[in-house]
A and B are shown apart, each in its own frame.
Chain A
Amino acid sequence: MSKVPADLKYTKSHEWIRSDADGLLTVGITDHAQEALGDIVFLELPEAGRSVAAGEAVAVIESVKAASDIYAPVDGEIIASNTAATDAPEAINADAYDNWLFKLKPAPGADLDALLDSAGYEAEIAEA
């Protein structure tokens, strides 16, 4: 069974989102996603300062099997990318929630309510 921590938000495209105390959002991929992708070997993460729209492809994650886009969960600006994950992408397979991909400053009025809670995401992956 894939882990779905209760304190995170989720997207249907298998990103997890954590609301940090500093008002930023930390984004990664879910345990379910890393399991489906298999061994992750390469990450292409966005540059800090880039403005992104909800649903926009902002990063690429490549496993031995396939390349997958990672999407911005809400409108906002990229603040940082996790270079440690770029250097050792296989760490995401070991713990998808401990290895974030990028931090995002949500735009004013960004729609956080559209994100799934853990129950909603669990239902989403149970259907697939």
Chain B
Amino acid sequence: MSKQTPLHRAHVDAGARMVDFAGWEMPVNYGSQIEEHHAVRRHAGMFDVSHMLAIDVTGGDGRKFLRTLLANDVAKLTAPGQALYTCMLNPTGGVIDDLIVYHFADDRYRLVVNAGSADKDVAWMRERIDRDGADVDLAPRRDLAMIAVQGPQARRLCWQAIVGSEAASEALSPFQAVEFGELVIARTGYTGEDGFELTVPASRAVSLWRELADAGVAPCGLGARDTLRLEAGMNLYGQDMDEDTSPLDAGLAWTIDFKDQSRHFVGREPLENSGARRRMLGLVLEDKGVLRAHMKVTTEHGDGVTTSGSFSPTLQKAIAFARLPLAVAPGEHVTVDIRGRMADARAVKLPFVRKGQSLV
């Protein structure tokens, strides 16, 4: 039996096509997925991301605990409301999950983790707290709902829909959040556009969704979310990296903070020993067809594989992420095996698209 978010009824009423995603019954689209994609690139769209889990981390050892739990360094978060994208690694340096950590105070943080990894994340964190006897409390917050509002008009329409929110959130920089009454307004997202991620009590989710829709924000499903994050060069956990993948091989080196030599975060040693063995690049298909995950890539420097792929509505071409030999440089041409047909593709730096503009 699939789980349902507080917005489930609203999706069904809006005619959404519902699919199972990580055990949750979620909208994949409400009509045309491509139109939803364009709505976010050109105007504003919203996604129900309540299947993701917010975990509150409180207690006097919170900061110390997160500095060893997470591969990015929460010591960078000094002011209340600052946030950080990070991986949580296992002892062999594989990725347990990727997440955003919000800092509200040194003894009060919030992690937002993937739906499919939430249970194992909580179990792993509890195990480490118990072993260290740390003064840390974990509170998984299934009483909350989350709505991501994304697009060039997203902030303006949020301010229009939520009375008083403009004064509270207009000064937020990217990766900053503010508590506004019972809401958290965060200037974060997964689309490569500006926007907010709003956290609200589950009981307020439907009314907020309706108010945003009334302000002109288009409901968007997981289908558009996937093509948007792909164009934006953002990894999807379980597809572009997992427990057997080093973040250094998955384009996530920028999230691993080795600076503080005394910070022995989980997975540090294996990453320092192995270094990067593969390189993550984008592929733009020059021939006809559509790139998908798990396609073999042949290069002058050896073979690689695509990890995600689709049709890019912004570029009107097929694009993919590929894990390739380190020697492959952006600009090189590679060959992709599309179901037995050898197709020409060009390797590019990620992202493909940022703020509505093609970068390739």
Contacts and interface: CB of A to CB of B under 8 A. Distances in A.
A62 interface: yes
B60 interface: no
B32 A67 contact: no
B33 A67 contact: no
Given A39-B33, A93-B32, A65 B223 contact: yes
A42 B311 contact: yes
A39 B34 contact: yes
Q: Dominant SS at the B interface?
A: mixed
Contact of B339 (A39, A64, A67): A67
B191 interface: no
Interface in A70-128: 93
Contacts of A60: 339
Nearest to B36: A39
A56 to B, nearest CB: 15
A21 to B, nearest CB: 34
Contacts of A44: 288-289
A39 B288 CA distance: 17
B290 interface: yes
Contacts of A39: 32-34
B290 A42 contact: yes
Contact of B227 (A42, A62, A64, A67): A64
A67 B223 CA distance: 15
Best-buried of A64, A66, A93 by chain B (most CB within 10 Å): A64
B32 A41 contact: no
A38 B33 contact: yes
Interface in B62-89: none
B318 to A, nearest CB: 8
Contacts of A38: 17, 28-29, 32-33, 223
B310 interface: yes
Contacts of A62: 289-290, 311
Interface residues of B, number: 17
Contacts of B288: 42, 44
B152 interface: no
A67 B311 contact: no
B290 A41 contact: yes
A64 B292 CA distance: 10
Nearest to A35: B17
A64 B311 contact: yes
Contact of B223 (A41, A64, A93): A64
Contacts of B310: 64-65
Contacts of B189: none
A38 B29 CA distance: 9
Contacts of B29: 38
Given A64-B223, A64-B227, A93-B32, A41 B292 contact: no
Nearest to B317: A41
Contacts of B290: 41-42, 62, 67
A93 to B, nearest CB: 7
A65 B339 CA distance: 16
Given A38-B223, A42-B311, A67 B292 contact: yes
Interface string A32-55: 000000110110100000000000
B313 interface: yes
Contacts of B33: 38-39, 64-65
A40 to B, nearest CB: 10
A39 B290 CA distance: 13
Interface string B272-297: 00000000000000001110100000
Contact of B313 (A42, A64, A66): A64
Contacts of B227: 64
Contacts of A41: 290, 311
A42 B34 contact: no
Given A60-B339, A62-B289, A65-B223, 20 more contacts: A38-B28, A38-B29, A38-B223, A39-B32, A39-B33, A42-B288, A42-B290, A44-B288, A62-B311, A64-B33, A64-B227, A64-B310, A64-B311, A65-B33, A65-B310, A66-B292, A67-B290, A67-B292, A67-B339, A93-B32
17 contacts: A38-B32, A38-B223, A39-B34, A41-B290, A41-B311, A44-B289, A60-B339, A62-B289, A62-B290, A64-B34, A64-B223, A64-B311, A65-B28, A65-B33, A65-B223, A65-B310, A67-B290
Interface of A: 38-39, 41-42, 44, 60, 62, 64-67, 93
